Amino acid sequence: MSLTKKYLKSKPLCKVTFKLTAEEAGQANQAVVLGDFNNWDRSEAEMKRNKKGDFSLTLDLPTEASFHYRYLLDGDKWENDPEADAYERSPIGEHDNSVVRL
């Protein structure tokens, strides 16, 4: 898993790329990244799979903000990002969420 950030000079936005390698995704056929930035809406978060089997999605997110997020594989397996900027307790449930800080 990786998280890359590219800040735009012309706007207060950051292009954030969320990535799961084929090895990290395992046998998953679908991966989505859900978070505060998309209201945890599965229809807004599907990651694209490349020929090597890696999944990725790039989003434009506002700077000077932080967002909770997690990966969902095949609609039932939740994963945190080991390269997240931080982890914080989810306001729902007993697990931690990954956090990206911009």
| Domains located in the chain, CATH noted | 2-101 (2.60.40.10)
CB 12 within 8 A of CB 59: no
Interval 52-102: pLDDT, tens: 999 999 999 999 999 999 999 999 999 999 899 999 999 888 899 999 999
> Bridge-partner residues for 20, per DSSP?
55
32, 41 Cβ separation under 8 angstroms = no
pTM: 0.92
Asked whether the predicted pLDDT for residue 32 surpasses 70, the reply is: yes
pLDDT, mean of residues 13-37 = 95
Dist CA 85 CA 67 (whole Å) = 10
Return the sign of the alpha-carbon dihedral for residues 70, 72, 76, 77.
negative
* Tokens 């890359």, residue located: 4
Tokens of 101: 């800080």
